[in-house]
Structure 1
Amino acid sequence: MVGRAVEHKFEGKHVSKDNWRGVVLAQVPIMKDWFYITYEKDPALYIHQLLDDYTEGNLCIIPEIPPAEVKSDVDSDILTGQCVQFTRSDGSKKIGKVIYQVPAKPSVYFIKFDGDVHIYVYNLVEKIC
């Protein structure tokens, strides 16, 4: 399931079911029934017990997208621990730190910004000048 694109159904307002597309990023190390996941609608990091949702039919693995290849290169994680700066559309800036690289998606990192309680998920690509 790790590295796979999924469609997750949530019960929304008025008992409707909302579909959210996302990617299962990793299994939580000390809680094997829990998984880290992020969604297209919201780049924050979520933790869910996905196996229950899968058996109840509320989580579908999207079959047309093959699982990501897990990269085992030990030295590839050079960004973890690095400070980053994000510039908002209004020109204001926020400072944060890269706290984790997702093994199933090596270009995906968790970033924690100063003064914000959320952890954000970003797909970082190299900028070529």
Structure 2
Amino acid sequence: MVGRAVEHKFDVKHGCKDNWRGVVPSQVPIMKDWFYITYEKDPVLYIYRLLDDYTEGNLRIIPETPPAEVKSDVDSDILTGQCVQFTRSDRSKKIGKVIYQFPAKPSVYFIKFDGDVHIYFYDLVEKIR
């Protein structure tokens, strides 16, 4: 399940289910039945007991996505520890720090913004001019 794209179903109003696509970056180290997950609709890093949802049919591994290969290039992670600035649509800015590179997809990083308790998950691609 780690490194795979998934579809996660959540109960909403009146027995309906809402599907969220996401990716499972890793397993929580000290709680083996818990996994980190982040969603396309919301780049925050969440922790869920995904095995329970999988056995209940509420989590589906998307079959067309094979497990990503983990790269071991020592020099490939140049952004971890770097400060970043995010500009919102209203032109306000927030400052944060890149705290982790996702090994299964080297362009994906976890970012922690100042004054925010969440950890965000972004696919950072180089802007070509």
Provide TM-score, normalisation by structure 2: 0.93
Q: Which runs of 5+ in 2 are unaligned?
A: none
Closer/same/farther in 2, CA of residues 63 and 12 from structure 1, 3 Å limit: same
Match of 1:104 in 2: 104
Provide TM-score, normalisation by structure 1: 0.93
The offset of 1:66, in angstroms, is 2.0
Percent identity, please.
88
C-alpha separation between the residues in 2 aligned to 1:26 and 1:106?
A: 14
Deviations 1:3-39 (A, max 9, x none): 1111111111222111111111111122221111111
Q: Are the aligned partners of 1:98 and 1:111 in contact in 2 as well (CA < 8 Å)? A: yes
Match of 2:16 in 1: 16
C-alpha separation between the residues in 2 aligned to 1:13 and 1:117?
A: 28
- SS of corresponding position for 2:25: strand
Q: How many residues align?
A: 129
| Runs (4+) off by over 2 Å | none
The offset of 1:81, in angstroms, is 1.0
- SS of corresponding position for 1:9: strand
C-alpha separation between the residues in 1 aligned to 2:73 and 2:10?
A: 36
C-alpha separation between the residues in 2 aligned to 1:61 and 1:82?
A: 33
Match of 2:41 in 1: 41
- SS of corresponding position for 2:26: strand
Deviations 1:55-85 (A, max 9, x none): 1111110101222121122222221111000
Q: Which runs of 5+ in 1 are unaligned?
A: none
Q: Are the aligned partners of 1:26 and 1:103 in contact in 2 as well (CA < 8 Å)? A: no
C-alpha separation between the residues in 1 aligned to 2:71 and 2:125?
A: 16
C-alpha separation between the residues in 2 aligned to 1:103 and 1:36?
A: 14
Q: Are the aligned partners of 1:26 and 1:104 in contact in 2 as well (CA < 8 Å)? A: no
Deviations 1:87-110 (A, max 9, x none): 112211110011111111211111
Match of 1:76 in 2: 76
Amino acid paired to 1:120: Y
Amino acid paired to 1:63: P
C-alpha separation between the residues in 2 aligned to 1:84 and 1:41?
A: 22
